[in-house]
Each structure stands twice: as structure tokens, then as C-alpha cells.
Amino acid sequence: MKKLRVLLVDDEIMIREGFKRLFDWEAHDCEVVGEAADGMEALTRIDTLCPDLVIMDINIPILSGLKVIQLSRIRHPDTAFVIVSGYDDFSYCREALRLQITDYILKPVNYEEFGTCIDNLKISRFERRIAAADEPEAREERAITGLTRYVQAHLAEEVSLSVLAEEFHLNAQYISQLFKNEIGVGFLAYLTNIRMEHAKKLLLSTSLSIAEVAERSGYGDYRVFTKAFKKSEGVTPSQYRRDFLDSSAEG
């Protein structure tokens, strides 16, 4: 798998330095290829560097981060954006989500936890690759697609490397390696990610109780689920649902 090319956009040099030097890009198969300090510079850099990922503050000079995303979407549909903002405000978040950004993280950035964000990006890129592959037979042949499809279909159950090994008659070690090579993330990170995505979908589109959502997303104990959810989304499941309801009620 080739390395992800990352562009850092923030008007503060210290924030960019922090990202560059405090996050272990190497370990996440990434490479910082450029930096920009304002919206205009960001647009130019995106055009010349064609990065896979842009990590960007909303509140930057000349053009806002949201504007940069809008303008570069057309020419660079595959570039992923992660918004970093000090404004703990859901209205920004909503606007950003409308532009189909990959993730929205709040300052102060916890560099140890930023890895989850990169993992999520890799998983969504992988899923897009699968969907874009036009020959269905070719898709079938690849072991990884079978594995991920199985995981997705059995979310609510106990899924582990050993279960997969038994089901597909493969070595657990080999499956683990397959996830790393094909998607770029470990099996557990993948599992957590799709469980969370499923839980978020259930929270927003159904009125199931938190305990039921937890169960359908593969968490027997809803307290474990709440903790995991809080860690990945920054808010508790009930808060997540309430924020969404509040914001859709407002407008």
C-alpha cells in the first residue's frame, strides 16, 4: 500500500509543527508533503500536490476552511478533508459534514488519538475502492472483500480473528496481515470503526434505546459501548443523538 500524502493547513506555525512532529506519521503509513498558512495557499497547494488528505483549520485567513473544501471539491473529488477547529460548535460541524468531510476534530488535538482518524480515513478509502471496482467477479476473488462483508453482516455477533479464521479456513495471522496490507489498519480498528458507524446510523435514524443500539452494534455491555463511543466521537451516545435532534429542530 502506498503512503497517504498529507497537507497541513493552519495559520499558526506551532499547530502545524505539532502535527508534523508529534504524530507518528511513519507508523500510520502517511507522509506530510506540504503546509499552507491560509485559504489561498491551501487551494494552490492542493492543486499542485494533489494530497490524499488535507488536515485544516476552519478559521484561517483569506478563505475559510469550509470555502477551500467547496472550491477544491470539483477538481479533487478524491481528496479527503479533516477539519480541526477550536470552535466547539455544532453548527460549524453540521456545515462541515454537509461538505462530506471525513472527520471533524476539536482542538486541542490529542496526537495519540489522532491515529483513529487516519484509520477511519483508510477504511472509507478502502470501501470506496471496493464500490468503484467495476467487475463483480474480480471483487469476489479477493479474500479481503469476503472478510469485510462477513464482518459487516455479523456485526451484532462476536466477531474475532479466530472466528474469521475458522469461517474462511485461513490462518488468523494471515487474516490480520491481510487487513494491514489491503486496508492499512489492524483488524480491531476496522471492527471498531464499522461498529461505530453502524451505531451512529442507528442513533440518528431509529428511536432504539442506547442499550439496544449497543447490542445491535456488537456491544453486549452498553457501558463498554458508551465508553468506546465517547472515545471515538467525543460525546456520549445520548448526547450525540440529542445534538442531532437539537440541530435539526433549529433549522
Partner 1 sequence: MLRMEIALFLVLAFVAIVYFSAGRRHTPLHQTFSILLIVVLCHLVFDGITVYTVNHLETVPRLWNDAFHRLFIGTMILISFLFYQYIAILVEEETGKPRRLDPAARVYLAIAVLGDLLLPIHYAVTPDGNYSDGIHMIFCYLSVVFYFLLGTGLLLTNWKRIEPKKKMAIGIASLVELIITTLQAIDHTWLISGMGITLITLAFYLILENPDILRAELTEQKMSMLYLKSQVNPHFLYNTLDTIRIQAQLNGDSKVADLLMRLVDFFRLSVKVDRPMVSLDDEIELLEAYMELMCYRYPTLRCEYDIDPELGGAPVPNFILQPIVENSLLHGLKNMGYRGEVRISAQVSAAHAGCMEIAVSDTGSGFAVGKKEAINRMLSDYAKQAPKLTGSSIGILNVQKRIKLLCGRAYGLSYTENEGGGVTAHILLPLGEESK
Contacts with partner 1, 211-240, as mask; x by CB under 8 A: x-----------x--x---x-----xxxx-
Cα–Cα distances in angstroms (integers) from residue 187 to residues 11, 19, 131, 172, in the given order = 36, 26, 20, 10
Cα–Cα distances in angstroms (integers) from residue 206 to residues 200, 201, 216, 227, in the given order = 10, 8, 12, 21
DSSP 159: -
Q: Does 12 bind partner 1 (CB under 8 A)?
A: yes
Single residue of 15, 66, 82, 83 touching partner 1 by CB under 8 A? 15
Q: Does 1 bind partner 1 (CB under 8 A)?
A: no
Cell of 201: 446510523
Q: Which is nearer to partner 1, 77 or 251 (CB)?
A: 251
Contacts with partner 1, 153-192, as mask; x by CB under 8 A: ----------------------------------------
Single residue of 48, 70, 100, 110 touching partner 1 by CB under 8 A? 110
Q: Which is nearer to partner 1, 175 or 214 (CB)?
A: 214
Q: Does 88 bind partner 1 (CB under 8 A)?
A: yes
Q: Does 152 bind partner 1 (CB under 8 A)?
A: no
Q: Does 107 bind partner 1 (CB under 8 A)?
A: yes
For residues 203 and 242, give the distance between their C-alpha atoms in angstroms, rounded to a whole number. Answer: 10
Q: Are 104 and 97 in contact (CB under 8 A)?
A: yes
Q: Which is nearer to partner 1, 9 or 183 (CB)?
A: 9
CB atoms closer than 10 angstroms to residue 251 = 6
Interface residues toward partner 1, by CB under 8 A: 12, 14-15, 17-18, 21-22, 59, 86-88, 106-111, 209-211, 223, 226, 230, 236-239
